[in-house]
Structure 1
């Protein structure tokens, strides 16, 4: 207990001292450069202990704005907005200014820190067995890693994943997957020319096309006779579970960093299953590749080149592709079909281009770009900043999480005239046209990220989207009968109720120690009245109560 007490006191006395020094420093800077402190950044009002949580509860000013949260914050508070949420131990800054966004992205581009998917990182770091005696220095994957480990892996795979010649290898295979998807849709059409559960079919296409690249083979998911207990069907089910688990463990407050919750235990099993399935398909492809000899390098697959680095890298990249690529590709093509259905004149124009077999496919590419402007894959980029930044007259402190809101900016009249209209022509008109996309600030539209941390699979993704969209629009007329769709982008900050204090008491008794994972501090729960009274009385002279520094 003594060592823990010292640890807590050291941490928070240091932070309190730092805060006071920052206040003095900010006052001096204020007089010279008119830079306001981070406490003065606009944002929803904050209450003691709960922070801004009350705004998201029923009756609150931000309750039930699921599809327009970031847009609402921008309209109410301007180009920089401060957020401090219960259960989130860091400052969140929303930026809506392209110049400020450019500054952050450029200056954080050496070893950019983009926090994401900590539960997957924890599994790969602590559960995967490695033959490497220096396994601590091994990367856990591109989507989970940061710092030198991330840089090392990225430098290995960049020449393989981003080479245009390497992507051309998949032109015919991906178009064949799209053609098979068309055949399946034709088979599934009912008497009203409709397909039930289109989303499920699109997910199968997405997994099938991602597998061609990352696993080096077809999964044959469109085969109605494929057994339910086959590895391919198991992988399909696993992908759905992984998405659900990652959303609930990593994008919502959860106690898994302190205690092995039921969902955390399920996550470790699900991630293990995905790893073994990925490994199974990669090894199967390796056996087939060994039978094919003397092929020139520009005809070798991405998987074959990754295996030449080592098998672990190949399986890591396969897992990352499945984790990040399947849901993403499915969402984008769904958005493309929706916007074309809502704009039949644009759909007709695209079909005419596709039937003419114009090899440049200019309008097809423009339709994809316009879709990613209106309904981007993610509404914003994220960076954990490595130093203090002075932007828009305010100081953003080091270690803040900065949300770079590209979606909101991409739908502002200032940058894209008639922003809420689906106008693919803006991407191909002459520079003198008011609609010309080049009139917008270059950091407004950023669908695949920026710099060293940009999407490594963007060339493959582009080919996926082009092959699917072209085959679907050539063969079908897509229509939409319902009201306009709303895209939910709100982050749910309400507490996860997997674990209550009553549960802790019932399982462990009146004193419970929760060891933090991933640098989270250790917690001691005192569930006994006399012990709690002793602590409170003993700490009453100069009590240190860790709280919300904002």
Structure 2
């Protein structure tokens, strides 16, 4: 059935998609006669359009696919139906976009309400427990009132750069611990300990002391378990946890409440420190030494303790897992491609030299370092598909009218592996991101909206600059001090999504300490 429908819609796709410019239809305007209706958008038909049940038909036991295989399902649909596909997800339709030009149109629309996708498990937990709603679930005025002050303190380059020395302190301690080993048996756990320590410096202005632990910190175990349960909830055809306290819900609630208690305990400890310093008239001296995200939030009249808790919880939970995984794939790519690792080491030697201290000027000069990170994020996209938006107007994309409040998912995970946009897409080639390379391999630079691993615009990742700096410092220090490799016989890292892309199995990394930093 898929093949027959696919042939039909491929014939349609030849004639229409790029002949029509992607345009916004104003609220008072009419849709152009040239645009096709939402009903005409190609995609699975028949029983696949039954709410909830239609979604389940794509997965086990009806097929061999699991939820983690959704990227493969979507890639197959793009090949059958073209660059815009309509698919029933739960009770509603989701439109999937596989074209960078259409993606640009969607991301650059003048959003005002910023509708949020209502994640059922999160929503139910918030209502039943009273836990403050996370920034991700907010929309409209409520979202803007929280996002704006947080953005001012998280996305300004000068503010983020001030945390560089703190991250470097954590990284130097991490390197000292690694020097005691020749092999990292569980790379994800080790990197999670490192990112937990770094993110804690931002959120709580103190070290948690987990960096040398042989097991995952309690908060990391909670985050991993909660994201796994959340992933299971997404594919449930009938979300009974919305009406009953099911075993899955009870487990998720217990984990989420424990996460909240850990965050609130750390926040209270930092508040006590600040209040004590204020009583002793030492607060000004304390604040002049290092940046203090917590104090900057408390000093903002727009912020309440509840709002601060929401922001910190979002930053802490997402920042640990996503950054640790991005670091893991960047390091394993370098370990599997020794010539690229050597090229990066040469850049580090050229820019940093004998210095053991990294400055923002050093990082600004290391273009190959940034290219290596981008290439790893391209080959192993950080999330299952990509950023998404709810349409706030009737909008014409690719010749089809997409109604207001339709959820549009921009499948960058598919776009970055599409040979039309990224030649030799399966290969690890950091040079494709360099500006001074005159080669067809750089074609991807012509499609900037095919690759936005941190999202785009006001709904983009609020911790992007901090995460980028953390990865740059971490990778630089590791490659500066070690030659890294994978065990014999390992040629790739299999992945799962929960919801950030993670290794499916334990990853081992071999390390050989360099004799000297500068040779």
TM over 0.5: yes
Matched, 1:71 2:75: yes
Q: Do the aligned residues in 2 keep the contact of 1:427 with 1:436 (CA within 8 Å)? A: yes
- 2:235 and 2:199 mapped to 1: Cα distance? 24
Post-superposition offset of 1:241: 2.7
Give the number of the structure whose alpha-carbon radius of gyration is greater. 1
Q: 1:478 aligns to what SS in structure 2? A: strand
Q: 1:199 to 1:62 in 2, by over 3 A?
A: closer
Output one character per residue of 1:89-119: Cα deviation in whole Å (capped at 9) or x when no partner: 1011111122222222222632322415443
What residue is the counterpart of 2:330 in the other structure? 336
Alpha-carbon separation, structure 1, partners of 2:213 and 2:491: 33
Write the mapping of 1:100-139 to structure 2, written as runs, cut at 5 A. Answer: 100-107=102-109, 109-115=111-117, 117-128=119-130
- Are 1:327 and 2:324 counterparts? no
Cα distance change, pair 351–210 in 1 and its aligned pair in 2 (3 A): same
Which of 84, 93, 103 is the equivalent residue of 1:80?
84
| Contact residue 384 and residue 401 of structure 1 kept, 8 A | yes
State the distance in 2 between where 1:142 and 1:270 align. Answer: 19
1:348 is aligned to 2:342 = yes
Does structure 1 conserve the Cα–Cα contact (< 8 Å) formed by 2:174 and 2:212?
no
1:308 corresponds in structure 2 to: 299
What is aligned with 1:276?
A: 261
- In structure 1, distance between residues paired with 2:227 and 2:69: 23
Measured against aligned partners, the alpha-carbon deviations of 1:137-166 in whole angstroms (never above 9, x if no partner) come to xx7231221111001111222211112222
- 1:400 is displaced (CA, Å) by 2.3
Residues 81 and 361 (structure 1), Cα distance of their counterparts in 2 relative to 1, 3 Å cut? same
- The whole-number CA distance in structure 2 between the counterparts of 1:197 and 1:316 is 31
Any unmatched runs of 5+ in structure 1?
1-28, 130-138, 492-550
Aligned length: 442
Spell out the pairing of 1:383-532 with structure 2 (5 A cutoff).
383-430=389-436, 432-436=438-442, 439-480=445-486, 481-488=489-496
Change (3 A) 1:224 1:415: closer
Equivalence for 1:294: 284
Is the CA contact (8 Å cut-off) linking 1:109 and 1:451 kept in structure 2?
Answer: no
Partners of 1:205 and 1:425 lie apart in 2 by: 28
User: Which residue of the other structure, out of 364, 369, 372, is the alignment partner of 2:374?
Assistant: 369
1:445 Cα offset (Å): 1.5
Structure 1 pair 344–46 and aligned structure 2 pair: CA distance change class (3 A): farther
Question: Does the CA contact (< 8 Å) of 1:203 and 1:327 recur in 2?
Answer: yes
CA distance in 2, matches of 1:487, 1:241: 17
Say whether the 8 Å CA contact 2:375–2:429 is kept in structure 1.
yes
Distance in 2 of aligned mates of 1:202 and 1:248: 25
In structure 2, C-alpha distance between the alignment counterparts of 1:304 and 1:311, rounded to whole Å: 11
TM-score with structure 2 setting the length: 0.77
SS at match of 2:95: strand
Secondary structure at the residue paired with 1:68?
Answer: helix
Whole-angstrom CA distance in 1 between matches of 2:425 and 2:380: 12
Moved more, 360-369 or 34-43: 34-43
* Residues 410 and 419 in structure 1, CA contact (< 8 A), matched pair in contact too: yes
Give the Å deviation of 1:186: 3.2
Q: CA deviation at 1:384?
A: 2.3
Say whether residues 1:51 and 2:40 are aligned partners. Answer: no
Q: Which residue of 1 aligns with 2:208?
A: 219
Alignment partners' CA distance in 2, 1:65 and 1:260 = 28
1:249 is matched with 233
Check 1:52–1:267 CA distance in 2 against 1; reply closer, same or farther (3 A cut). Answer: closer
* Cα gap change, 1:273 to 1:125, in 2 (>3 Å): same
In 1, the alpha carbon distance for the partners of 2:464 and 2:396 equals 32
The secondary structure found in structure 1 opposite 2:283 is: coil
TM-score (norm 1): 0.73
C-alpha displacement at 1:458, in angstroms? 0.7
Q: Which residue of 2 aligns with 1:41?
A: 41
Cα deviation 1:312-334 (Å, max 9, x = unaligned): 23222221112211110111011
Gaps of 5+ in 2: 1-29, 353-361, 500-519
In the alignment, the residues of structure 1 paired with residue 431 and residue 437 of structure 2 have an alpha-carbon distance, to the nearest angstrom, of 12
Aligned mate of 1:166, from 159, 170, 176: 159
Question: Is this contact kept in 1: 2:113–2:392, CA < 8 A?
Answer: no
Cα deviation, residue 177, structure 1: 1.8
